[in-house]
């Protein structure tokens, strides 16, 4: 499983012109499921995201997690995170989880994040979404449960 985590002042998702999810200060998390992802991959990503110390403390140092400033999470499925462009210029998505499998992994990830007690909003799986946000910093972190980067 891969994740792109961005610290935001706000973020929202629109589907067919309607806002379906919106958060204030927190993290916009783009999630991509890789073929063969398990509960172990979900747990790794969830724990990392929720524990990232990327919010400023009183001294202005990145020392707090999303929990401490009362932040929220916006989780958006994005299979293109598994795009491989090492050969040529057209991405290969061969490592991305098949839609049915990926949806189950995404839904399990959403439940894992909700179980942390942090407020969670979500995009719509397999929908064409418009994702808007105001990056804060900017601070963006890349995560891979198989630790490829």
Q: How far apart are CA 83 and CA 90, in angstroms?
A: 9
Provide the b/e sequence for 114-145 (b: ≥16 CB within 10 Å).
eebebbbbbbeeeeebeeebeebeebeeebbb
Give me the active site residues, please.
Answer: 80
Element (H, E) at 44: helix 39-51
β-bridge mates for residue 135, sequence order: 8
Give the Cα separation of 49 and 104 in Å (integer): 20
> Helix (H, G, I), strand (E, B), or coil: what is residue 79?
helix
């Amino acid at each position: 499983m891969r994740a792109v985590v961005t610290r935001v002042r706000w973020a929202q998702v629109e589907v067919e012109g309607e806002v379906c999810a919106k958060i204030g200060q927190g993290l916009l998390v783009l999630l991509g499921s890789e073929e063969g992802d398990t509960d172990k991959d979900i747990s790794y990503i969830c724990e990392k995201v929720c524990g990232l110390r990327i919010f400023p403390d009183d001294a202005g140092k990145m020392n707090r997690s999303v929990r401490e400033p009362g932040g929220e999470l916006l989780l958006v499925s994005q299979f293109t995170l598994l795009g491989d462009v090492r050969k040529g210029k057209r991405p290969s998505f061969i490592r991305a989880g098949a839609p049915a499998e990926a949806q189950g992994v995404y839904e399990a990830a959403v439940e894992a994040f909700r179980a942390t007690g942090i407020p969670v909003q979500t995009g719509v799986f397999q929908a064409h979404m418009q994702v808007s946000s105001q990056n804060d910093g900017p601070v963006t972190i890349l995560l891979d449960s198989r630790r490829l980067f």
